[in-house]
A and B are shown apart, each in its own frame.
Chain A
Amino acid sequence: EAQLLESGGGLVQPGGSLRLSCAASGFTFSSYAMNWVRQVPGKGLEWVSGISGSGGGTYYADSVKGRFTISRDNSKNTLYLQMNSLRAEDTAVYYCAKDPDFVLVTRLDVWGQGTTVTVSS
């Protein structure tokens, strides 16, 4: 059974940095694109970033472009999200999600349980 487990969330000051991790198991990690999606508590879903199976293609929402970097280590079956210059509006639950396609976002068929990021002084 495919499973995703996020970690790395926490409290950080505005302007600070944080790196999220997502450990994958139960499937051939390198064969699939991966994504980060966030949700402000009580609000809707927002796609943040996606990366192809090889790591060669990356995509970002305009709201995080230039501040966040998505990456993956296929030898460790792990997805990352490096978040810099954090703002209060980045406060959210961050989910990692698997795509059944190798390259682009087609659909998100497996989701982790989420990790909470709070940006506050």
Chain B
Amino acid sequence: QSVLTQPPSASGTPGQRVSISCSGSSSNIGRNTVNWYQQLPGTAPKLLIYSINQRPSGVPDRFSGSKSGTSASLAISGLQSEDEADYYCAAWDDSLNGYVFGTGTKVTVL
């Protein structure tokens, strides 16, 4: 049972903007940085956004992250077919003394 809650699904047409929320608490998102991972079908997860809004080398600037209080968000602008994947938020939890993932959001490109 994850302590970070995400909507199970999100969708959009090519070129649209899609936003995914991640709700946590004061022991995780509220006091620690947030990362986002992308998992394409049949592959291992990949780091997409780190430290709330930083992109690793090679990640398009269509992907952006933000945080407010105990919630975080991932935005995908200019949605493309190759963005169809599962997306997970994650953060360290000081109460659990462990790393926690969100419940995951499946993004569908219509």
Contacts and interface: CB of A to CB of B under 8 A. Distances in A.
A102 interface: no
Contacts of B44: 95, 111-114
Contacts of B104: 44-45
A61 B98 contact: yes
Interface residues of A, number: 22
B56 interface: yes
Interface in A71-120: 95, 104-109, 111-114
B46 interface: yes
The SS class assigned to the A binding surface is loop
Given A105-B92, A107-B35, A114-B44, A46 B101 contact: yes
Contacts, number: 61
B96 interface: yes
Interface residues of B, number: 24
The SS class assigned to the B binding surface is strand
A17 B98 CA distance: 24
A107 B51 contact: yes
Contact of A108 (B47, B97, B103): B47
Contacts of B33: 106-107
Given A47-B99, A59-B97, A111-B45, 6 more contacts: A45-B90, A62-B98, A105-B98, A108-B35, A113-B44, A114-B44
Interface of A: 35, 37, 44-47, 50, 59-62, 95, 104-109, 111-114
19 contacts: A35-B99, A44-B88, A44-B103, A45-B39, A45-B88, A59-B99, A61-B96, A62-B98, A105-B92, A105-B99, A106-B33, A106-B50, A107-B35, A107-B50, A108-B35, A109-B47, A109-B50, A109-B56, A111-B44
